[in-house]
Copies of this chain bind each other. A is one copy, B any other.
Amino acid sequence: MTRIDDVARLAGVSTATVSRALRGLPTVSEATRRRVRLAAEQLGYTASPSASRLAGGKTGTVAVLVPRIGAWFPGVVVDAAEELLRPAGYDLLLHHVGGPDHARQRLPRTADLPKRVDAVLLVGTPALVSAAPVFAAPEYGGRARALPGVTVAAGAPVPGWSSVGIDDVAAARIATEHLLTLGHRRIVCLSGDPADQFTHPGDLDRRWGYREAMQAAGTPPEAIVEVVARGGVDGGRQATASLLARPGPTPTAIMATCDEMAMGALVALRRAGLRVPADVSVIGVDGHEFARIVGLTTVAQPAAELGRLAVGTLLDRLAGRSRGDGVPERHILPTRLVLRDSTAPPREN
Contacts and interface: CB of A to CB of B under 8 A. Distances in A.
A78 B69 contact: yes
Interface residues of A, number: 47
Interface in A105-127: 106, 109, 111-112, 114-116
A74 B322 CA distance: 34
Q: Which of A44, A94, A115, A264 has the most CB of B within 10 A?
A: A94
Q: Which of A51, A68, A69, A71 has the most CB of B within 10 A?
A: A69
Nearest to A91: B93
A345 interface: no
Given A49-B116, A82-B96, A115-B48, A293 B263 contact: yes
A41 to B, nearest CB: 10
Q: How many copies does the complex hold?
A: 2
Contacts of A294: 293-294
A59 interface: yes
A337 interface: no
A124 to B, nearest CB: 13
Given A54-B51, A78-B69, A79-B70, A140 B94 contact: no
A315 interface: no
Contacts of A72: 70
A204 interface: no
A97 to B, nearest CB: 10
Nearest to A233: B293
Interface in A245-272: 263-264, 267
Contacts of A48: 54, 115
Contact of A115 (B49, B82, B233, B264): B49
Interface in A60-91: 64, 68-72, 75-76, 78-79, 82-83, 86, 91
A1 interface: yes
Given A50-B59, A69-B69, A293-B233, A95 B82 contact: yes
Contact of A267 (B54, B78, B293): B293
Given A1-B115, A93-B92, A50 B46 contact: no
Contacts of A78: 69-70, 94
B44 A140 contact: yes
A111 to B, nearest CB: 8
A277 B345 CA distance: 29
A53 interface: yes
Contacts of A114: 1
A141 interface: yes
A94 B96 contact: no
Contacts of A289: 70
Contacts of A49: 59, 115-116
Pick the 7 closest A-B CB pairs, nearest first. A50-B53, A46-B112, A70-B75, A50-B54, A94-B94, A70-B79, A92-B94
29 contacts: A1-B115, A44-B140, A46-B111, A48-B54, A49-B59, A49-B115, A50-B50, A50-B59, A54-B54, A68-B79, A69-B69, A69-B79, A70-B72, A70-B78, A78-B94, A79-B96, A82-B95, A82-B96, A83-B96, A86-B95, A86-B96, A92-B94, A92-B95, A93-B93, A93-B94, A94-B94, A233-B293, A267-B293, A290-B293
